[in-house]
Amino acid sequence: MKLTARIASIATLALAFTPAVALSTNAYAAAAPQTSVQVADLNLNSASGQAVYAQRLDAAARRFCSRETTLDLQAACAAGVRDEVNAKLASGVRVASR
């Protein structure tokens, strides 16, 4: 009987803790940066269109990663943004925000 009571109390504590985790997750998600890269007006088959796309992508990566605290983290973040946007563009997914 004691084991059952312990399990029930642990389950109750876990359920009570779940909304607090959800609230903190929602607060973090609301604070997460968002950015976009417009490509609909570009001809990505031309060198000039690709150059403009690269400029827009770099600017979006800088905006998105501006909260990182060190240059190493900013560089890693920007590389990740570039990789993700390029992969989405290649697969035809509309790129809007993270």
Asked whether the predicted pLDDT for residue 72 surpasses 80, the reply is yes
> What's this model's pTM, rounded to 2 decimal places?
0.61
For the residues 29-58, what does the mean pLDDT come to? 84
7 is written with which tokens?
């399990």
Q: Both 96 and 52 in a single domain?
A: yes
Q: Tell whether 21 and 37 lie within a shared domain.
A: no
CA–CA separation, 8 vs 65, rounded Å?
44
Whether residue 5 sits in one domain with residue 25 = yes
Based on the fold, state whether residues 26 and 37 are members of the same structural domain: no
- Same domain as 27, residue 38: no
Angle at 43 between CA 80 and CA 40, to 5 degrees: 70
Mean pLDDT (the chain, rounded)? 75
Looking up tokens 């796309």, which residue turns up?
A: 53
| Whether 44 and 79 share a structural domain | yes
* 11 and 50 fall within a common domain: no
What is residue 17's predicted lDDT score, i.e. its pLDDT? 47
Mean pLDDT confidence for 20-35:
58
Instruction: Tell me the pLDDT band of 5, cut-offs 50, 70 and 90.
Output: low
Tell me: do 8 and 38 sit in the same domain.
Answer: no
On whether both 5 and 19 belong to a single domain, the answer is: yes
Range of the domain at 21: 1-31
Give the per-residue pLDDT at 22.
53
70: tokens are 């060190």
Given a cut of 60, is residue 67 above it in pLDDT? yes
